[in-house]
Amino acid sequence: MSRSYGCFFHARIKNGKIYIEYNGTDIEVAEDLVAEGVAKEDIVLAFHTPAKRKYTVFGVA
């Protein structure tokens, strides 16, 4: 039997913003953060290229 490891979710905090780097789950983490009171401008969907981020409702940093 062998083990394999994989990251299901990766986020980091940089300059006061939450950067979601990867979300391999079916949970909408960004939407959950907004529901908990985090401003959309403080969440960056970093798995999108900077050029595509401007088309989301979240931060573009």
Structure confidence by residue, pLDDT tens digits, 12-32: 999 999 999 999 999 999 999
pLDDT at 61 over 90: no
pTM: 0.85
Residue 58 lies in a domain: no
pLDDT confidence of residue 52: 95
Total domains in the fold of the chain:
1
Residue 59 lies in a domain: no
What is the average pLDDT value for the chain, to the nearest integer?
Answer: 94
Residue 61 lies in a domain: no
Residue 31 lies in a domain: yes
Domain that holds residue 36: 9-53
pLDDT at 57 over 90: yes
Side by side, the strands of the sheet bearing 43-45 are 9-14, 17-23, 43-45
Beta carbons within 8 Å of 56's beta carbon, 6+ residues apart = 45, 48
pLDDT confidence of residue 11: 97
Beta carbons within 8 Å of 24's beta carbon, 6+ residues apart = 6, 7, 8, 9
**Mean pLDDT, rounded, for 34-61:** 95
